[in-house]
Amino acid sequence: MGRRGAGITAVAGWVPPTVLTNFHLEKFVETSDTWIRERTGIRERRILVERDRTTSDMAVYAIHQLLRKRGLAPEDIDLVICCTVTPDHVFPATANIICDKAGLRRAWGFDLEAACSGFLYGLACAVQFVQNGMYERVLVVGAERMSAIMNYHDRTTCVIFGDGAGVVLVEPVVPELGVQVIRLYSDGSGRHALFQKAGGALHPPTIETVLNREHYVYQEGRAVFGHAVRRFTEVIEEVMDVAGLRSEEIDWLVPHQANLRIIKAVARTLRLPMEKVMVNIHKFGNTTSATIPLCLAEWEPRLRTGDRLILATFGGGFTWGAIYLRWAYDGSLVPESGRILDAFPGEGTANGQTEEKNSD
Ligand code: ACO
């Protein structure tokens, strides 16, 4: 029997309606719209301010859209892999909560934490389950409420991150399509450059850890920047080498949206024109595990069967990796294609976000 392929066969995304612009941030910390735009490429990000909703809810809204787009019932899903650094609780896993809230009665699920590389690690796992024939339909969710772990007095981090959720469906496809090459890495010696100092088993929450603001994201931006540019480029070149791909054969680069300068540096080194690079950091910021599926959801109308995509990431850990895949369907034929929803179910679109606004 021939090898069974596994590919992405549906995508969806959801972001909260509340927009936090650079001008808003100028009121909390000593920064400026100009500094943020020039150093990161970010103009605004979305923030989930509603206290009664959180990471699992954003994931569920995205999943409902995906099921609708693909014409599937909740019972059709076998497994949910939820990639997040902002789980609803330390335990139980947010994937379990998502299954319950989304009515995925037949599915089981688990969380996967690899910071900004979470989604690619999760996609790699999903592909194994589908390729070996164990499951038919696996959801990979990247969902983050980064605002929950953001110190809005720390200008070096609070300008970067945003909230949102993206989800993809992984199903069997012919081996010529779907995921072709996977390369994932980690180096724990970088763990002190980007992390949350307290709240885990090493430093459980105490009055002191809270007063010291140790439950927020801490980042040594310059150190992370240097590693990101190098590792990003290395791993993409490795994947291209294994696949025998030349730059001009790549249809789309889908980079983790950490910093526009990192994305541009990598594209320049790979001699890829920016027209082939998915970028939405200007309006969503860095949504950690959600950046790559949100890009795929937004660019879906332009994706065609057989397109060659490289998904690449770098994040806390350090973790990094790249996946080469051949797109498995014609995105222009899908209902709601390219629409990233930004309203709560049953409510109107709060900020009038339209497809038009999404494609700017
Ligand atoms: N507004 C104004 N000034 C600022 C701000 C701000 N928001 N933030 C920092 N500065 C200041 C610094 O204090 C510093 O001032 P100093 O020279 O007086 O000390 C100066 O600007 C330069 O600081 P740098 O940290 O060198 O700024 P840089 O240009 O590197 O930009 C940034 C910082 C945006 C964080 C960048 O380093 C970066 O993008 N790093 C990589 C992020 C990344 O890839 N993370 C991995 C993924 S995230 C994840 O895994 C969860």
Phi and psi at 84, nearest 5°, equal -165, 150
Tell me, using a 6 A CB cutoff, whether residue 315 lines ligand 1.
Answer: yes
| 36 C-alpha to ligand 1 centroid (Å) | 9
pLDDT given for residue 95 in this prediction: 98
Contact between 167 and 52 (Cβ < 8 Å): no
| 118 C-alpha to ligand 1 centroid (Å) | 22
Nearest ligand 1 atom, CA 159: 7
pLDDT given for residue 33 in this prediction: 98
Nearest ligand 1 atom, CA 40: 34
| 263 C-alpha to ligand 1 centroid (Å) | 15
Residue whose Cα lies nearest atom 33 of ligand 1: it is: 221
Tell me, using a 6 A CB cutoff, whether residue 258 lines ligand 1.
Answer: yes
Catalytic residue among 280, 286, 295, 358: 286
pLDDT given for residue 346 in this prediction: 82
Which of 147, 149, 222 gets mutated to test ligand 1 (max ligand atoms within 8 A of its CB)? Answer: 222
* Annotation marks residue 116 as catalytic: yes
Contact between 306 and 178 (Cβ < 8 Å): no
Which pTM was predicted?
Answer: 0.95
Please state whether beta strands 178-186 and 163-173 pair in parallel, antiparallel, or not at all (unpaired).
unpaired
Q: Centre a 10 Å sphere on the Cβ of residue 71 and count the other Cβ atoms it contains.
A: 9
pLDDT given for residue 353 in this prediction: 45
Cα separation of 228 and 54, whole Å? 29
Residue whose Cα lies nearest atom 29 of ligand 1: it is: 39
pLDDT given for residue 358 in this prediction: 39
* Annotation marks residue 64 as catalytic: no
| 135 C-alpha to ligand 1 centroid (Å) | 43
| 61 C-alpha to ligand 1 centroid (Å) | 32
pLDDT given for residue 294 in this prediction: 98
Residue whose Cα lies nearest atom 41 of ligand 1: it is: 225
Question: Residue 125 corresponds to which tokens in the numbers above?
Answer: 């796992």
Query: Which residues, other chains included, contact 343 with Cβ-Cβ below 8 Å and sequence gap of 6+?
Result: 17, 349, 350, 353
Catalytic residue among 96, 125, 256, 295: 256
pLDDT given for residue 174 in this prediction: 97
- pLDDT tens-place string over residues 205-246: 999 999 999 999 999 999 999 999 999 999 999 999 999 999
* Annotation marks residue 286 as catalytic: yes
Tell me, using a 6 A CB cutoff, whether residue 222 lines ligand 1.
Answer: yes
User: Which domains are delineated in the chain?
Assistant: 5-176+334-341 (3.40.47.10), 180-280+295-333 (3.40.47.10)
Which residues of the chain, if any, have pLDDT below 50? 350-360
